[in-house]
Amino acid sequence: MRVQRSLPFMVLFVCIVLALYPPHAATAASLNFSVNSTQDAPDATPGDGICAISTGECTLRAAVQEANAQPAGSTVAITVPAGTYSLTLGSLALTANTIAVSGAGSATTIVDAGGLSGVFTVAKGVTATLSGLTITNGVAATGGGINNAGALSLEGASVLTNTTTSASGTNGGDGGGIWSSGTLNIDNSLISGNSTADGSPALSTAAGNGGNGGGSGAAAPSA
């Protein structure tokens, strides 16, 4: 009986403590990750502030996933040394925060989707910088190399031989190299050899139109 009578008091005590000391929101982080493996493997524990796959290395995908998982408002710099980074698990999606991916130079740091997926996507609300790397062999419905809905700066980079696809009876996808519905700044970068798909015919229907912007395309700004 004593325990039962004490329960309301304990509930009241907990409520008072929470009112006086409310839980604090996670603090935005400022982090630097140095990639040390060219393999394509996911982060072991996204959000712990450590770029590491299950075997301990920091891959480009793990660094991006860890950057996305940081508290809102975080700034993350990802350094990518020379090498070819072949994507086998899909495109690299930048989904949150401010993220800078910096290679050792477009001639030596190559992110290659191998025709399996797009290379980079940048979500709305994300501020991203891609510099000193080559983005190549991406294939996607829209934006074969990069599909940007955020605020993207491309600096000293190359976007080469990416393409878009088309479904049967539809128009070709837009932006073979880059498609941007957000803000896009391009500085000292090469965009070459990209293409959009032709409109694809379907049984008993007319073919669609070819996609817009083989190199890069942009959506019309909203009113």
pLDDT higher than threshold 90 for residue 11: no
- State mean pLDDT over 54-59: 98
Question: Do the beta carbons of residue 174 and residue 150 sit within 8 Å?
Answer: no
The predicted-structure confidence for 84-135, as pLDDT tens digits, reads as follows 999 999 999 999 999 999 999 999 999 999 999 999 999 999 999 999 999 9
Tell the residue number behind the tokens 């880059």, with chain if given. 178
What does residue 182 show for φ and ψ, rounded to 5 degrees? -115, -140
- 3-state DSSP call for residue 210? coil
pTM > 0.85: yes or no: no
CA distances to 32, 73, 147 from 41, in Å: 19, 26, 22
Domain positions in the chain: 29-218
